[in-house]
Amino acid sequence: MTVLSVPHASWTRRPARGGRRVLLAPVTVTPTKPLTPSHLKGLLWTDVLFRATRVVAETGYRYSNTAYHSTEQTLGFWEFLDDAGGDTDYAAMTEEQIGELYVRYWARRQRPSAAALRPYRDAVEHGWVHPASARIQQLWSAHFRRLGLHDPGLSEHQPPGYGLAEVFDHLAVRGLCLDHRAAGGPVYLDLTRAGLPLRQIVTADGQPNYLACALRDLLPLAVEHDEIVLVHDRELDLDYRLLAHVLANAGPIVHRLPIGRVPIEDRVRSARSGDWRGHTVAALIDEVAGAYRPEVFRLGLRLYFIATLGPGQRQSYRLDLLHKSLHRAERLLDAAPAPAPGPLAERLGQHRGSHAHVNPYRLTTGLLARHRHLPSADLLAEVFL
């Protein structure tokens, strides 16, 4: 099957089956620090979800770094870099070197002013990305190729379809907005009638948070789809409950897929304090990839991070169990039969339940289930490699 080209690089569809249009919208990773096992887990879950679902439904994959560059978390880091040394050449830096600067930024504990961030936010609207984050995105694209991940447009300029004013108008018409800008105050998302707490989305000085950026990006897409799947960290559960409610109000069925992070030595670590040191995706690739065929490496990672770790976060990262999954992947690939009878879409459809998307956990654990047929070569190639 051929992926259709559409205006945004992350907007990837396949021919419709049954007319059901699905949008996958995972939480983005801020390009300010190295990728970690927790990030990799979310990326692998989303990749299998996307590649399986596009076989059975018309599927979009919306992952726009552009839409979320406007958060204080990112803009504040950029302003710090320019203030500390604006003539730095980031083109040859590693993720870890830029990550160390990110640690220094958070150690400063000084919040940047909205006035200092405004020129950066305006530049983002016109496609500008700070050289440090552009370098991070370049390195991540290389990781995606090694990992066999679909690149949804990490380095592409993908502006959100709405401005903040359009978000406010959309919410106000539906009685979902408390707008205090006229009195010099903030803007709130108001879902208290639905039993959800009031949530500020824009500060009094005009700075949007992640939820405001998500609304800018996803609200104009919601009316074009029958189903939206939001993949996110469990720590963001409340914001994604609010987001799901607003998107569902626009028409589609909205599913949330919360994914737990990956503890390291029984502790969920913080990128802001540099706890990624020694536990980055780049280090994992360097340590493991060379010992296995590329297809074994890709399948083994998915078996481990999806089936073994599961959706929760009780199990710490263990290299021995990763190698066990890699050996299992090698056996599955060597024994994979030719394509099974019947279209692949029908076989994948068994993992959909009552919704349009394919459940990645159910599908991946099915590869390891005893007393079942071995996964066919076409299934592995289409979804896991």
**Cα–Cα distance for residue pair 54/358, rounded to 1 Å:** 9
Q: What is the pLDDT of residue 335?
A: 86
E strand or H helix at 191: none
The model's confidence at residue 228, banded by pLDDT at 50, 70 and 90, is very high
Spell out a b/e string for 264-288, using b for 16 or more CB atoms within 10 Å of the CB, else e. Answer: beeebbebbebebeebbbbbbbeeb
pLDDT one-digit tens code per residue, 342-364: 788 887 877 777 789 999 999 99
Least trusted range by pLDDT, from 11-20, 62-71, 144-153? 11-20
Q: What is the pLDDT of residue 1?
A: 27
- Examine the pLDDT at 278 and tell me if it is beyond 90: no
- Examine the pLDDT at 105 and tell me if it is beyond 60: yes
Q: What is the pLDDT of residue 84?
A: 82
Provide the percentage of residues in the chain whose pLDDT is more than 70: 94
- Examine the pLDDT at 341 and tell me if it is beyond 80: no
Angle ∠(348,226,237) on CA atoms, nearest 5: 85
What is the average pLDDT across 54-59?
93
Quote the mean pLDDT of the chain. Answer: 89
Residue 261 lies in a domain: yes
Spell out a b/e string for 165-180, using b for 16 or more CB atoms within 10 Å of the CB, else e. Answer: eebbebbeeeebbbbe
Q: In sequence order, what are the beta bridge partners of 264?
A: 267
What is the average pLDDT across 241-256?
95
Within a 10 A sphere around the Cβ of 4, how many other Cβ atoms? 11
Residue 312 lies in a domain: no
Q: What is the pLDDT of residue 7?
A: 32
Q: What is the pLDDT of residue 187?
A: 96
Select the more confidently predicted residue: 167 or 371: 167
Residue 364 lies in a domain: no
Residue 186 lies in a domain: yes
Residue 353 lies in a domain: no
Domain containing 116 equals: 21-291
Identify the DSSP state of 211.
H
Select the more confidently predicted residue: 152 or 86: 152
Q: Provide the H-helix boundaries in the chain.
A: 37-56, 65-68, 72-85, 95-108, 114-125, 131-147, 164-173, 210-222, 237-249, 281-288, 294-302, 319-335, 344-348, 360-368, 377-379
| pTM, rounded to two decimals | 0.91
What is the average pLDDT across 142-164?
95
Least trusted range by pLDDT, from 57-71, 103-117, 211-225? 103-117
**Cα–Cα distance for residue pair 108/106, rounded to 1 Å:** 5
Alpha-carbon dihedral of residues 273, 152, 323, 268, nearest 10 degrees?
A: 20
Q: What is the pLDDT of residue 345?
A: 83
The model's confidence at residue 18, banded by pLDDT at 50, 70 and 90, is low
Provide the percentage of residues in the chain whose pLDDT is more than 90: 75
**Cα–Cα distance for residue pair 56/50, rounded to 1 Å:** 10
The model's confidence at residue 96, banded by pLDDT at 50, 70 and 90, is very high
The model's confidence at residue 181, banded by pLDDT at 50, 70 and 90, is very high
Taking only Cα atoms into account, the Rg of the chain, rounded to an integer number of angstroms, comes to 21
136 touches 98 (CB < 8 A): yes
Question: Which tokens sit at 161?
Answer: 């379809």
Q: What is the pLDDT of residue 367?
A: 85
CATH code at position 183 = 3.40.50.620
Residue 242 lies in a domain: yes
**Cα–Cα distance for residue pair 43/322, rounded to 1 Å:** 17
Helix (H, G, I), strand (E, B) or coil at 121: helix
Helix (H, G, I), strand (E, B) or coil at 65: helix
- Examine the pLDDT at 217 and tell me if it is beyond 70: yes
203 touches 175 (CB < 8 A): no
Least trusted range by pLDDT, from 51-65, 203-217, 262-276? 262-276
Element counts in the chain: helices (H) and strands (E) = 15, 7
Tell which residue, 67, 55, 46, 61, has the closest CA to residue 6: 61
Tell which residue, 25, 22, 21, has the closest CA to residue 10: 25
Q: What is the pLDDT of residue 15?
A: 43
**Cα–Cα distance for residue pair 280/276, rounded to 1 Å:** 6
pLDDT one-digit tens code per residue, 282-296: 999 999 999 999 999
What is the average pLDDT across 152-167?
94
What is the average pLDDT across 181-208?
94
Contacts of 120 (CB under 8 A, 6+ apart): 75, 78, 79, 130
Residue 341 lies in a domain: no
Domains of the chain: total: 1
Residue 105 lies in a domain: yes
Question: Which tokens sit at 262?
Answer: 């990956």
